[in-house]
Amino acid sequence: MGKNTHETKPAIALKDLAECGQCTCFNLRKASRIVTQYFDDSMRSIGLRGTQFTLLANAFAYSPITVTRMSEIMIVDRTTLGRNLLPMEKSGLIKVESGDDRRTRIVKITDVGKRKLTEAYPLWKETQENIKQKMGLENWGSMISNISNLVDCMQES
């Protein structure tokens, strides 16, 4: 395995590597991780995660609703939503029943779920305001608007 006369080309150039630091996917995921942990922390005392708060709020808003319809609204994979609902059903926050169309499964928020949502809302609100305050209202608004725009752009195609 002596040194070849033809140099091995580097995998990618240094400038390309720097570019990869701007990856839309990486940066969005990184921000998601940090913000998810922040919301998770704020609701840990009442046994809810940030994602579950969102699920509960949507269940409340649209209850009763089919799994697939809810997945379309939240822009999440149908099977993902189905699985995410399981721990919430186990803890009694929602219930899932068969609909008249017996293929469908109908998601309904329970009284326990409504109470939990009432309990969670002030925590969510405080956390949300904290983030706005940390970022500055203008920056935050710009970010949310940019993100919404991104989601719209990607949905079109």
Partner DNA sequence: CTTAGTTAGGAGTATATACACCTATTGTAT
Partner DNA sequence: ATACAATAGGTGTATATACTCCTAACTAAG
Residues in contact with DNA by the rule CB under 7 A: 29, 33-34, 36-37, 40-41, 49, 51-52, 55, 66-69, 76-80, 82-84, 87, 90, 96, 99-106
| Rounded (10°) angle between helices 111-135 and 50-62 | 120
Distance CA 43, CA 68 (A): 27
**Quick check: 89 and 96 in contact, CB under 8 A?**
yes
The minimum distance between CB 109 and a copy of itself, in angstroms, equals: 8
The minimum distance between CB 48 and a copy of itself, in angstroms, equals: 12
- The DSSP output letter for 81 is H
Up-side HSE of residue 141: CA atoms within 13 Å toward CB? 3
Token readout for 69 is: 């319809």
Pick the closer one to a copy of itself by CB: 21 or 90. Answer: 21
Site string for a copy of itself, 50-89 (x = CB under 8 A): xx-xx--x--xx------------xxxx------------
Distance CA 110, CA 74 (A): 20
* Binding partner of residue 96 among DNA, a copy of itself, none, CB cut-off 5 to 8 Å per kind: DNA
The minimum distance between CB 25 and DNA, in angstroms, equals: 9
Contacts 24+ apart (CB under 8 A), 37-41: 38/127, 38/130, 38/131, 39/124, 39/127
- Residue 157 contacts a copy of itself per CB under 8 A: yes
Residues contributing to the site for a copy of itself (CB under 8 A): 9-12, 16-17, 19-20, 22-36, 38-39, 50-51, 53-54, 57, 60-61, 74-77, 109, 113-115, 117-118, 121, 124-125, 128, 131, 134-135, 139-140, 142-144, 146-151, 153-157
